[in-house]
Amino acid sequence: MNAIRKITLWGMALNVLLTAFKFIVGFVGHSQASIADAVHSLSDFLTDIVVLIGERFWSAPADKDHPHGHQRIEAMITAFIGFLLAFTAISMCINAIKLMAASMSKTGGGMVAPSVPGWSVFIVAVVSIVTKEILYQWTAWVGHTTHSTAVVANAWHHRSDAISSIPVAVVALAGRIWPSITFLDPVAAILVSCMLLRTAWHITWPCLQELSDQGVGNAQLESMRQIAASIPGIKDVHELRTRRFGSGILLDMHILVDKNMTVEDGHRLCEQAASTIKRKMPMVMDVMTHMEPDNSVDLETEIAELAGSVSGVKDVHNIRVRNTLSGYDADLHVQVEPAMSVSEGHAICMQVQELLLASDLKIVSVLTHLEPYNH
């Protein structure tokens, strides 16, 4: 039995027991907060079932119809857990508000006003806090070890169950000390609902970003670029594109090598870059490399020729080219006649910029420095 199935089965067993005890003491001990907490444990049990069934699908190997694997199923299951938790939270909050209104009305609004929770409510809440926190720690460890977002989300569901039991325990204790304060129980139920809703958001939002093909952050992109660029023989790395796939990352990148290098040697460098990235960053599942010749020297020559063709330009020097995700940034010094006005010189520089940007050299940014021509 793998670790995911083992921890999920343990969670199911515990959630069944807690759900039963919370429902019983909620009815017997007159605690709406305990009943709301029981509903939370029930939803936790349902998510255990979803994870148990879903794990069979997202861990399946790649096939003809799913060449990258089935990890997206994990994101969909995680999002489902979040939506289920949010629905549970909203339902409990609405019911608690109705009960709170009933407790503050003289007639009770046709509903039974809340009573003071019994000691059994307090005991079960404390047991829930301790056991669910232990289960959270165990499940989170398994989730991080297996890089499973669904298991991590389920772990947070366990912790939210533990946290939601805290106000239940506090209210049960306070109710025994100050029996006249009957509205504390529905207030606790509302507080539990808000906690659940917040947890649901933190679980669901990353999954929706993954399903919309959001890439990784700039810090991770830069780490990938630096790893590839550190390989001897690779001149530059640019146009890195990523997308999340389950608990992993898919990466595309362009690698520049010496233009006189053989295709075999260039391919070897690309494979080395891909394997190094996957070794140093285990969350990267697949790397697609695009090999390109490094034409930076020739590009500088073409920039000098194009800029020099503009009427009024006497010389072009100090050309610097930098690769970006979308093309090249070019910096160059443009020399004109010393007697020319600044306005005329600026107009010439603008013509140089427009010419370079309109060319087929993939230049996306041009910075010119106007200077007097030295004979």
> Mean pLDDT throughout 38-62?
73
At 164, list the tokens: 């939601």
Task: Tell me if 238 sits within 8 A of 325, measured CB to CB.
Answer: yes
Q: Which residues pair with 288 in a beta bridge?
A: 252
Note whether 3-211 and 218-294 share their fold: no
Radius of gyration of the chain (CA): 32
Residue 108 has pLDDT above 50, yes or no: no
CATH node for 3-211: 1.20.1510.10
**pLDDT reported for residue 227:** 92
Q: Among the listed ranges 41-55, 76-90, 98-112, 264-278, which one has the minimum average pLDDT value?
A: 98-112
Other Cβ atoms within 10 Å of 52 Cβ, number: 16
pLDDT at 109: 46
Would you list the domain boundaries of the chain?
Answer: 3-211, 218-294, 297-372
Which stretches within the chain are classed as H helix? 3-28, 32-58, 72-104, 119-146, 149-177, 184-211, 218-229, 263-280, 296-308, 342-358
Helix (H) or strand (E) holding 290: strand 284-294
Tally of residues, the chain = 375
The per-residue pLDDT for range 250-304, each reduced to its tens digit, is 899 999 888 778 888 889 999 999 999 999 988 888 899 998 887 665 788 889 9
Separation in Å, CA 33 to CA 55, 98, 256: 33, 13, 62
Q: Domain spanning 218-294: which superfamily?
A: Cation efflux protein, cytoplasmic domain (3.30.70.1350)
Residue 333: per-residue pLDDT: 94
The pair of structure tokens assigned to 255 is 């690698």
Greater model confidence, 306 or 165: 306
Residue with tokens 């989170």, as numbered in its chain: 140
Q: Distance (Å, rounded) from C-alpha 312 to C-alpha 310? A: 6
pLDDT digits (tens, 9 = 90+) for 163-175: 777 777 777 777 6
* Mean pLDDT across 130-141: 89
Question: What is the pLDDT, as a whole number, of residue 341?
Answer: 92
β-pairing verdict for 234-245 and 248-258: antiparallel
Within the chain, what is the greatest distance between any pair of CA atoms? 101
Return the sign of the alpha-carbon dihedral for residues 28, 30, 33, 36: positive
Model pLDDT, residue 113:
46
Residue 107: band (very low, low, confident or very high) from pLDDT cuts 50, 70, 90: very low
Tokens standing for residue 39: 């509903």
Both tokens assigned to 50: 């979803």
Calpha distance 261→259 (Å, rounded): 6
Residue 204 tokens, joined: 């669901």
Do the Cβ atoms of 242 and 215 come closer than 8 Å? yes
pLDDT of residue 185 exceeding 70: no
**What pLDDT does 25 receive?**
78
pLDDT band with cut points at 50, 70 and 90 for residue 62: low
pLDDT at 197: 83
Single-letter amino acid, residue 59: S
pLDDT for 372 equals: 92
* Percent of residues, the chain, with pLDDT higher than 90: 18
112 confidence band (pLDDT: 50, 70, 90): very low
Pick the CATH number of 297-372 from 3.30.70.1350, 3.30.70.270, 3.30.460.90, 1.10.8.50: 3.30.70.1350
235 in Cβ contact with 294 (< 8 Å): yes
Residue 357: CB atoms within 10 A of its CB come to: 14
Show the CA angle centred on residue 365, arms to residues 363 and 366, nearest 5°.
100
What is the pLDDT, as a whole number, of residue 58?
65
- 48-62, 72-86, 128-142, 340-354: which has the minimum mean pLDDT? 48-62
pLDDT tens, 193-235? 787 788 788 778 877 877 776 677 788 888 999 999 988 888 8
Residue 346, pLDDT > 80, answer yes
